[in-house]
Chains A and B, each alone.
Chain A
């Protein structure tokens, strides 16, 4: 029984990434500063970083599985953070109302993306590239490029807002709870509902999906809407974590999200991968990024790109070899 389950796990697309992740953690913890890396505060910091990235990597994974791509998540994160802090500190809204407004706005953006892609037969790449530029600029216009702090003198909800990104419940950072909730809800949606099956079907073959009577537009609206909604949520969490809304923050985060989703098995041609894979990918990226400061004592920043790129490539090669080996055994 156990060997049956072990074999099943070893056959999953995410297995290769998990192996690399475990080896990496073992390696970092065996170095001189390894004890500090596995210390409670370091683990809290690491889990918070993974949660912040994981929340919107899940959204990106859904869009990629649906056969699309969303390049706007990075600047939407920056913009939704600015919008949330603006509503709190400038417009005097309550925390609940601000969050609901930001999430509704973000989800609406995803629906607009789906409409443009579907009705005008535009490539997702170009539609979301347009949004990428717009959100960056609108955030700057709204703030004249000055960050919006949310101090107690700016909003009575300052404490509660700061708690979202910085707080802990039972020693676990709050963003981790958001990640777990999002992971469970989206996993159920993807694997146990008709909508999830439609999203996978759409990614596998859009024409066949259309011919079988499934509404492609509705499915795209759900996939892109969910992705933008989660980017909006991540934007709120990042703004809280940074303690202010910063125009231009989140820039190029879409690449991190795509890397997290793709490294553990989402295929850019759609129809393949899982959302938990995106979370594991987010874990791998952040373990590398944090680990570098513990392992390399001097000049860590210059090493970062080399280390991240090399490990991503190694993981991708391992994944491919594993898939070929699996195919050979069938």
Chain B
């Protein structure tokens, strides 16, 4: 067999395999029969990317759809491109679904589309990431400023004497990063805790690790390292461990990637701030269903407030809150996730 035929075979094989991969859908649908013979309510939740962060969101969405007897579908765009998200939204606009929840990738692009959906009679809320300047009915998600404040409160407990803190993040100008940093500064104002500087890693974990190594050498008096994006925690822990400074420098981070959980179990990360993606999914379906069924936004919000226990803040913003997980409560937290059918978040 000559080289040419080998090449053709290889390409054919690769093409077949890619087709096989493409068949793996990123759509999850939960359908249950409506109580009576009436038309089933159709709700779609569209995420801002394909991250496993959304696994628990889909579990929550499915649970709510089951309880309410409606149809709920989630779509995860394969990239974080606003244009792709717009295309997906328009697919469901054409299908005339009843309600759409969106984790907005870029509010300037998606905002006008939301207004368009609302005008065409589709009820829209945002979750996880807001488009506050649009006609969306409400927003459900983490208030990142409050999450930053919670991190600041945790820092005060870990560093009662205060000290220098350095932060690590993908991009400190991203809205969620900016809000978390502002919240942290707010909570630590008037104490001896100083967030000296924040380093960008452009979502490159090896760069995050190198940033930490440089800080540990350039600032010998550092007391705490703050990881603001999910992958930063494991990289901080690895660098601190390598430098033999475990215990001497406190580590505070966000989210619970598998390696973050491992470090927490070993007591190497002191605390992590976790969001509640399960609640994003569950509460989004619950609220959209109420709005569609009742046809009255104010009444729906009032009922939602009473049933969920969450407060609807001005601008119809609903903060699902965060939790601080430490080596002391990590096992209990994992058990709770397992009971909901979730591996990590």
Give the interface of A toward B (CB within 8 A).
Answer: 33, 36-37, 39, 41-42, 45, 49, 52, 112, 115-116, 119-120, 134, 137-138, 140-141, 144-147, 149, 151, 166, 217, 238, 241-244, 246, 248-252, 289-290, 293-294, 297-302, 304
Known: A36-B217, A45-B217, A147-B258. A242 touches B198 (CB 8 A): no
Known: A141-B21, A242-B205. A33 touches B218 (CB 8 A): yes
Known: A141-B21, A249-B204. A301 touches B214 (CB 8 A): no
Known: A119-B4, A141-B24, A300-B199. A243 touches B234 (CB 8 A): yes
Tell me the residues in window 7-31 of chain B with beta carbons closer than 8 Å to chain A beta carbons: 7, 10-11, 18, 21, 24
Chain A residues contacting B196 (CB-CB under 8 Å) are: 298
- Give, as a whole number of angstroms, the nearest-CB distance from A261 to chain B: 19
A137 to B50 CA separation, bound complex (whole angstroms): 11
Chain B residues contacting A217 (CB-CB under 8 Å) are: 3
Chain B residues contacting A294 (CB-CB under 8 Å) are: 214, 217-218
Verify A301–B7 contact, CB threshold 8 A.
Answer: no
A248 to B205 CA separation, bound complex (whole angstroms): 9
Sample (29) of A-B pairs whose CB atoms are under 8 Å apart: A36-B220, A37-B217, A39-B217, A49-B210, A52-B206, A112-B10, A115-B7, A119-B3, A134-B18, A141-B24, A145-B51, A146-B52, A146-B258, A147-B258, A149-B234, A151-B262, A166-B238, A241-B206, A242-B205, A242-B235, A242-B238, A246-B205, A249-B206, A252-B204, A290-B214, A293-B199, A299-B197, A300-B199, A301-B172
A289 to B109 CA separation, bound complex (whole angstroms): 35
Q: Does B108 contact A (CB under 8 A)?
A: no
Tell me the residues in window 156-200 of chain B with beta carbons closer than 8 Å to chain A beta carbons: 172, 196-200
Chain B residues contacting A145 (CB-CB under 8 Å) are: 50-52
A39 to B220 CA separation, bound complex (whole angstroms): 12
Known: A41-B243, A42-B217, A300-B197. A149 touches B238 (CB 8 A): no
A244 to B24 CA separation, bound complex (whole angstroms): 25
A41 to B204 CA separation, bound complex (whole angstroms): 22
- Interface SS of chain A: helix
Verify A289–B210 contact, CB threshold 8 A.
Answer: yes
Verify B210–A45 contact, CB threshold 8 A.
Answer: yes
A112 to B216 CA separation, bound complex (whole angstroms): 43
A37 to B219 CA separation, bound complex (whole angstroms): 11
Q: Does B115 contact A (CB under 8 A)?
A: no
Verify B258–A149 contact, CB threshold 8 A.
Answer: yes
Chain B residues contacting A45 (CB-CB under 8 Å) are: 210, 213-214, 217
Verify A242–B210 contact, CB threshold 8 A.
Answer: no
Give the interface of B toward A (CB within 8 A).
Answer: 3-4, 6-7, 10-11, 18, 21, 24, 50-52, 172, 196-200, 203-206, 209-211, 213-218, 220, 231, 234-235, 238, 242-243, 257-259, 262, 344
Chain B residues contacting A115 (CB-CB under 8 Å) are: 3, 6-7, 10
Residue of B nearest to A298 (CB): B197
Chain B residues contacting A119 (CB-CB under 8 Å) are: 3-4, 7
Chain B residues contacting A246 (CB-CB under 8 Å) are: 205, 231
Verify A140–B50 contact, CB threshold 8 A.
Answer: yes
A-B contacts besides A45-B217, A298-B196, A301-B198, 19 pairs, CB < 8 Å: A33-B218, A45-B210, A45-B214, A119-B3, A120-B7, A146-B257, A147-B231, A166-B242, A241-B238, A242-B235, A243-B234, A244-B259, A249-B204, A249-B206, A290-B210, A293-B218, A294-B217, A300-B199, A304-B200
Chain A residues contacting B209 (CB-CB under 8 Å) are: 241-242
Residue of B nearest to A149 (CB): B259
Residue of A nearest to B171 (CB): A301
Residue of A nearest to B21 (CB): A141
Residue of A nearest to B220 (CB): A36
Most buried by A among B24, B203, B209, B218: B218
A25 to B132 CA separation, bound complex (whole angstroms): 49
A300 to B215 CA separation, bound complex (whole angstroms): 11
Most buried by A among B206, B215, B231, B259: B206
Chain B residues contacting A41 (CB-CB under 8 Å) are: 216-217, 243
- Give, as a whole number of angstroms, the nearest-CB distance from A112 to chain B: 6
A134 to B22 CA separation, bound complex (whole angstroms): 12
Residue of B nearest to A238 (CB): B206
Chain B residues contacting A301 (CB-CB under 8 Å) are: 172, 198-200
- Give, as a whole number of angstroms, the nearest-CB distance from B42 to chain A: 27
A119 to B11 CA separation, bound complex (whole angstroms): 12
A103 to B84 CA separation, bound complex (whole angstroms): 36
Chain B residues contacting A249 (CB-CB under 8 Å) are: 204-206
- Give, as a whole number of angstroms, the nearest-CB distance from B86 to chain A: 22
- Give, as a whole number of angstroms, the nearest-CB distance from A326 to chain B: 36
A151 to B268 CA separation, bound complex (whole angstroms): 14
Residue of B nearest to A249 (CB): B205
Residue of B nearest to A301 (CB): B200
Residue of B nearest to A52 (CB): B206
Verify B213–A243 contact, CB threshold 8 A.
Answer: no
Known: A115-B7, A149-B262. A243 touches B204 (CB 8 A): no
Chain A residues contacting B205 (CB-CB under 8 Å) are: 242, 246, 249
- Give, as a whole number of angstroms, the nearest-CB distance from A136 to chain B: 10
A137 to B216 CA separation, bound complex (whole angstroms): 34
Chain B residues contacting A242 (CB-CB under 8 Å) are: 205-206, 209, 234-235, 238
A116 to B8 CA separation, bound complex (whole angstroms): 10
Most buried by A among B51, B172, B213, B220: B213
A137 to B235 CA separation, bound complex (whole angstroms): 23
Known: A41-B243, A116-B7, A244-B234. A297 touches B217 (CB 8 A): no
A241 to B234 CA separation, bound complex (whole angstroms): 11
A304 to B200 CA separation, bound complex (whole angstroms): 10
